[in-house]
Amino acid sequence: MSDLIRLSFTIDRKLLEHLERLLHESGYGNRSEFIRDLVRNRLVDREWEQDEEVIGTITIVFDHHRRGLTEKLTALQHQFEGAILATTHVHLDEHICVEAILVRGRASRIAELGHTIRQLKGVLKGELSLASLGRGLR
């Protein structure tokens, strides 16, 4: 017996047109998978809003020649020890590096770390990607 349930719902014509456009642009093969992913994304957002334990990635692009920046980044990563699972550091050219920091912990603590890193002088771009431990998505 399948756990899949068929639903039927009513939607305004204009909203359906937007849905169809989004579906086409995103490359989904069918509405069902698209709608399932919308629900999953909203569940992840809610985990972050409710300050649950979450995972995510902080990606930063920075000038590693900026005086003291690498030391500050390292110190921050030690300060948030336990929240940082792994880092990957790549040299893009003689001045610019990118670092991906895989994090896990309470959403508020992860957001604080991302915000603190983005504010450092020499960080050109910082982005926090939200993810979930998947407990509520199964």
Residue 136 in this model has a pLDDT that exceeds 90: no
Is domain 53-133 given the CATH code 3.30.70.1150 in the classification? yes
Higher-confidence position of 60 and 131: 60
Per-residue model confidence (pLDDT) at position 129: 93
pTM, two decimals, is 0.79
**What percent of the chain is modeled with pLDDT above 70?**
96
Show the tokens assigned to 126: 């910082």
Phi first, then psi: what are they for 43, rounded to 5°?
-65, -40
What is the identity of the amino acid at 79? Q
Q: How far apart are the first and last CA of the chain?
A: 17
Per-residue model confidence (pLDDT) at position 44: 86
What DSSP assignment string belongs to 26-84? HT-SSHHHHHHHHHHHHHHHHHHHTT-EEEEEEEEEEETTSTTHHHHHHHHHHHTTTTE
- Residue 99's pLDDT band, with cuts at 50, 70 and 90, is very high
- Residue 132's pLDDT band, with cuts at 50, 70 and 90, is confident
> What are 51-89's pLDDT values in tens digits?
999 999 999 999 999 999 999 999 999 999 899 999 999
> What are 7-26's pLDDT values in tens digits?
898 999 999 999 999 999 99
* Secondary structure class of 5 (helix, strand, coil): coil
Average pLDDT, the chain: 92
Show the tokens assigned to 136: 């509520």
**What percent of the chain is modeled with pLDDT above 90?**
74
